[in-house]
Amino acid sequence: MNIANIILPFIVLIIVGYGIYKQVAVFDAFLDGVKEGLTMTIQIFPTIIAMIISVNIFLKSNILELVINFLNPLFNFLKFPKEILPLAVLRPISGSSSLIILDNILKTYGVDSFIGRVASVIQGSTDTTIYILGLYYGSIGIKKIKYSLLVGLMADISCIIIALIVVNILF
Instruction: Let me know: does 115 contact 109? Beta carbons within 8 Å.
Output: yes
Give yes or no for residue 46 having a pLDDT over 70: yes
pLDDT number for residue 105? 95
**What does pTM read for this prediction?**
0.69
> Could you give the C-alpha distances from 31 to 6, 20, 41, 62, 136, in angstroms and in order?
24, 16, 15, 46, 25
pLDDT number for residue 112? 93
Instruction: Measure the CA–CA gap between 122 and 156, rounded to whole angstroms.
Output: 9
Instruction: Measure the CA–CA gap between 114 and 124, rounded to whole angstroms.
Output: 15
Domain residue ranges of the chain, discontinuous segments joined by +: 1-45, 62-170
pLDDT tens-place string over residues 49-100: 887 788 778 778 888 788 888 888 888 887 888 889 889 888 998 888 899 8
Instruction: Let me know: does 85 contact 122? Beta carbons within 8 Å.
Output: no
Q: Which amino acid is at 30?
A: F
